[in-house]
Each structure stands twice: as structure tokens, then as C-alpha cells.
Structure 1
């Protein structure tokens, strides 16, 4: 029986671990550093930081771990995959070079341009004056992105001159040489494609749609994600295939041709515009909260799928399509600016409901809040309408100060209502 290490500490890693434990080949999953809410049978928490690469290698060697999968982006950009490979240890994820697709927005734009992949027009700025001039050339709204990792919160849609001035002044007060990517604003509908990539095989997961804004009706600041659902039934298979063929496959071919093939998980953020699908961003790991609603749909063996991809084979994979999986994130008051800690974490129970834990810590006999996003509550039903109703009935009955959106999956619910009306 196999032992697997998952690197990370959030609800995404909790979902990855749960999916691995469904494999008949896996008897234990270690999560480093994990969190105190991960108490499923078969899960072991190892308090090693995700960026402590040498310590993680020593642990894997000593514990005879059979496979490592990296959940969070920071260790990937630091070269954890390169280090494990040099030590002869099996690991699923991209090299540090390939991880620049997420680690550097400027690098990502260069790859998109070199491979003629549809995306927003953009420019790079490295000073306050330069950024202001380039942003105003695009007109409003305009998108301003920090070049490096920003935990899902480094993108701002700027609507007017006053907002632009305030944003750029604040950014360059902290770092006078900050690199920014300035982009034209793309109007349309967003969705996400997750591709598990090996040397000779690729597995595309069901399409997901997440909700980045803090508040209902897409108001408030960008966050790491406040909820998601999958599959996205109102999106046609033809559009899905077009996005894969015009956005995903060319970047994988381009990386291969450059001598730096991509392996691991490619997250393609897509905007469906009037001119067709375009890339908003690439990430190099599963999304959070998308992992929590995509991975439960895998009916075949996740561990075997990863082994096959690492071995240069095309896996045989089965995804469910009978139900909609919908997840709602509960966040601390004050998130994303200044999350309040120490509040009790509610327990949600019910048929076809489960919880994936993130920013929690054990205090006495209970879990309390220890971060921004606290827990993802995931439900399943035959429709988005039914899944949302099930989750919100449980959430709205809580006595809690944790905040959450009340409209996750609204586009799917609207599409279902329109279909019923026909």
C-alpha cells in the first residue's frame, strides 16, 4: 500500500488528500503542513512548512513516501520539483521554469505572444510614471496585475482615473521598481480548465466556474475565491473543445518546443468574449475553491492517474456527470484585508454535504478561525438550483459571524430557470 505526501495547508490540499484516499492503492496521506481540521481517517499532519524544501526531502526519504503532489504555488516557483527530481524522488508538479507561467505574469504574456494564443492586449511597467501612462492608453476599465505571486489577490480592475492614481501610488510607495502587467479589460464570462499533464498524456477535468469577488452580485474586492461549482452545463462542449484546442494545447506545445516541457497541473483561466475564448491567466496548480468541487467528481483512481502521467502514459479516467458540485467559502470577518482570528468554526452536517478546512486551528476542544478563508462547504445535487438550496439552508441556519456569498452558482441557476421556462 502506498503513502502519498500532499504539500500545502488549505482546503484545496484537504480535497486532494481525500481524493487520494479513495484509491484502493493508498492507505495513508501525509499533509505538510496541513491544518487542524484535517482529521479524516488515513490523513496524517506533518508540521513542515511548504517552502522548507530540504526538510521535506529528508522526510520523504526517511518515511519512504511513494509520491508527492504539490498543492500550493509558492514551493513550485521556488523549485521544489527540481529539487525532488534531483534527489530521485517521484513528484507531480511543474519545474521552477515552467512554474513561471504563474510566478510571473510578464513571462506568461511572453509565452502567450510567442505561441499566438488569444489573450488581452497588455504592456509591462516598472515605474509609477510608466504604469500610469500605459494604463491610461488602454482606457477604462483597465486591469492592473502584480507580476509575481499574490495569492489570488494581485489583480485589480480599475474603473477611473482617481482609482488608478490611488492604486499605483500605493503600489509604488511600497516598491519603487514594482513590475506590473497592464491589460485591456476583457468583457465576457469566465470559466476554468484544469489539465493534469504528463510527458505524453493529458487529462482535462470538468469545467469549473469560481467567484472571486467578496460580496454578492460580484461586488467588493477580489479574493482568493469565495465559491465555485462544476460542471458548467450551460457551457457547450464545442466551446470547451475550442478553448482546449486554442488556449491549452498551444501553450503545452510551446513549452515542449522551448525545451522546458510542462508537467503537473495547468489551470487555464478563460474569458469567453464576443471574439471567442481568451486566456486571462495561467496557474500551475489546482484552484482553490475549484479543487474542492472538481476532484470529488473523479470516479476513477486518482493515484493511478498521477502514476500513469508520470510514467509517460495516457490514463484511463472517468468523471461523473450526473450531479452539480457546488462549494461556498466561509471567510473570517475582515477578509481579505484584515481577517479576524479566534472565532468558533461552525460544523455543518447534512446529506451530500461535506467540509474542506483551511484557516483553522484547534483550541481546547474546538476549531477556531486562524486565517482568511476558513472552510469550504461542498454540496451535490442533480442541479445547481438544488445544490445551492441545500447548502444555503444549512448555512443560513448558523449562528456565526463568518461571512459568505449568498449567490454562488447564480449563472447556472439562472440558466436552469431559463431552460424550465421554455
Structure 2
């Protein structure tokens, strides 16, 4: 089969690599891709992820059998609908209505409430006055979420009232739309990727854990993810199965009950509380940076997996033993304002351990920063300690201009206690 991967970040870099390893895959096109994919895929950088007609034309010209959509924006805007309905091209990624599970926090919370799927208590607001009154009534800590897509940065975990009210002011007064105000949940978080075709689900047997906050010890603002590791062995298999039984399977059934046909990845961001496992969020695609570490451990043919999911044919996923840890190098200032164009050099022998998110080719073929999250550096080990050490040893060998990049130094620390 021939596969097109939509997206240009580290998650898509990991997917392209995994598809390249698949014996069933005979060719790969990356749209728009990035420079690091050029050796294993045809990279078409002139086309954006929401240029639906251009994407369709490329897929037809390249005889594409499967399209794998990496980022959330084209899913929420209906890329799957367009390719399937207008051109009969198979897409691994949910259609626009189903992608609301991520693109609308209000939709997902209302779905969970209707079908008794365990999650935090919440209310939805459009008016600042009503929202601020509710927050004052509930008290801090409390969680404020902007409805809609925000690249992982539309969530404020407010530990005090000033932070909560400031977040509401920014989301409802300085901009328009809805916010979801949630009860603050305490516990251990984990990410579970689930392959879904309507009521047919195959949860990954391996969990990952992301590090959302910008700085060490979970300080600073939320980001798109500053690092991840897998598997998460200090959270038991019983907890994973509870999540599957109480959350994943009921959510898949709920979508069918609502007349929706979900096909793609359902990302469950969950938390283990004193009252059991609860949903923090759903995403409608692979996580980033979780995909990078999970794809590094997955040994199955991803092309065959897609066909099995499409046909609702039971299968087993094969996993490499050991652990993978990934450390994200980000531009100084991220997730706020940052500069681009700083030089970065990756030693040739480390290229296979790096997943590119925000690097591009500059003058004289130099590699320069072009985004907030720049690259994820991974390390493998038989133990989590070995994997983390390997990752940070590799980080030390990445060359960049002083004070242009930063990274967390505590990735994997929860698993190493």
C-alpha cells in the first residue's frame, strides 16, 4: 500500500518512520512534512494541512491507499469528510463531527455527563460575570479550559483565585467563545492511545506519561508537551483495564448511540484519583510527544494495523521490551513569544533518536529553529533510569546557540521514585 501522512511535526515524523518500517507499505508521501522526513518519504512542503483540494490531488496522483492525519486542525475542519466523500480515499482520522471529541470541550463534557463516563464536575460559560461568580463560589484550585483547539495551551490550572479570574478575563473578555470550568482533580496522570472503529476498539497495551508544564516540578504554563516516556509501569494494569472498561468502551458506544461513526485514534488523558480513574481530556489523534515514544516501542506493521482496524478484525500489537524517554527542546519563551532562526546542529549518529517539530532548512543548508517546540530527543533503555539517562546524554550533544533553547530536566522522574 501507499500512505500519505498529513502534518509536519515530531508526531508525524514518528508516524512516517513507523510506516517506513512496515513491510506492507511501498511508498510514503508527507504533506507538508519536514526536512528530516526527506530520506524516507516524498515531502511536499508547498501544501498546508488544510489545503484540502491540493491534498486530494496529490493523493490521486500518488495512488495513495491510506491517509493518516496527524494534527487536530485538519480533522476539526473536515479533511476526512472531504477525502472520503469527494474522492473515496481511506482516512485514518475521525470526521468533523466525531473530531468534536477534541475540538469542543463542551461537546466532550456533555457526552460524558449524558453517558455517566467518569470525569471532573464542570459548568460551561460564555459570560464572564456568570463564570467568575461560579469560580468564586467553587474556590481554588480550579481548572479553566478554553473551548476549541488551543494546541495544548488552552488550559489554566489555577491554584489561586487571581489566576482563575485572570484566565476567565483573557478567555471571555479579551476574546470570545466558551469556557469549561472544571473541578480540580488530584492524582497520577497517564495517556492511553486507543484505536477506534465505531464500537470496535483496540487500546494500546502500553501507557505513556506526558509532561505538560513548561518547567521542572510541573511549574509554569501548560504547553503542547515538554517530554514523555513509556511504558508507565508504576500505574498498574488493573488501572489501565479500569480505564478501558469504564471510559474507553463506554465512550465508543456513546458515540455510536449519538449516531456518530468514529474512526481513528482516541487519545484518553486520564487521572487516577481516590474515586477511581477519570477523564481529564480526549484528543482525536495521537498525542505529541507521546506518539514519538510509543512508536519507538511499537514493533507491529502499522499498515496491517490500519487494515485490521478498517475491517474490524481482531489483532495483537507487538511491543519492544524496555523503555523510551523523550526530552523536548523548546525555543526560549515558549509557550509565549519566541524568536526563530537560531542555528541547531544534530550529530549524525543521533539523528535516529531525534524527532523534528520546529526545525527547518535555512541559508546554506543550515538547520534553524522555526517553531516553539523544536525537537524531541529520545533514549532507550532496559529500565526507565537507563532510558532517561540515554535521552539526557543525547540532549547534551545537541549543539545550539546559548540561551536560545530550554528543556525540562525531570522527564520520567515520577517513574524513577
* Cα displacement (A) at 1:199: 4.4
* Cα displacement (A) at 1:38: 2.2
Distance 1:348 1:188, change over 3 A: farther
* Cα displacement (A) at 1:216: 0.8
Separation of aligned partners in 1, 2:104 and 2:141: 23
Indicate if the aligned counterparts of 1:138 and 1:183 stay in contact, CA closer than 8 A.
Answer: no
1:340-366 deviation per Cα after TM superposition (whole angstroms, max 9, x unaligned): 211112315668961110111101222
- TM-score after normalising by structure 1: 0.94
Please state if 1:180 is matched with 2:182. no
The 5 Å alignment of 1:13-412 reads 13-86=12-85, 87-175=87-175, 177-199=176-198, 201-205=200-204, 206-320=206-320, 322-348=321-347, 354-363=353-362, 364-400=364-400, 401-412=404-415
1:199-253 deviation per Cα after TM superposition (whole angstroms, max 9, x unaligned): 4642222100000011111111110000000111111111110111101110001
Separation of aligned partners in 2, 1:402 and 1:48: 28
Which range is displaced more, 191-200 or 202-211? 191-200
* Cα displacement (A) at 1:100: 0.4
Separation of aligned partners in 2, 1:372 and 1:173: 26
* Cα displacement (A) at 1:317: 2.3
Separation of aligned partners in 2, 1:4 and 1:36: 18
Indicate if the aligned counterparts of 1:211 and 1:218 stay in contact, CA closer than 8 A.
Answer: yes
Separation of aligned partners in 2, 1:350 and 1:386: 19
Is there any run of 5+ residues in structure 2 with no aligned partner, and where?
A: none
Q: In structure 2, what is the equivalent of residue 418 of structure 1? A: none
Aligned residues: 411
Indicate if the aligned counterparts of 2:142 and 2:181 stay in contact, CA closer than 8 A.
Answer: yes
Distance 1:381 1:43, change over 3 A: farther
Distance 1:312 1:398, change over 3 A: closer
- TM-score after normalising by structure 2: 0.95
Separation of aligned partners in 1, 2:189 and 2:143: 15
Q: What is the SS of the residue equivalent to 1:37?
A: helix
Indicate if the aligned counterparts of 2:76 and 2:96 stay in contact, CA closer than 8 A.
Answer: yes
Separation of aligned partners in 2, 1:46 and 1:340: 22
Separation of aligned partners in 2, 1:346 and 1:254: 48
Alignment RMSD (CA, Å): 1.6
Q: What is the SS of the residue equivalent to 2:409?
A: coil
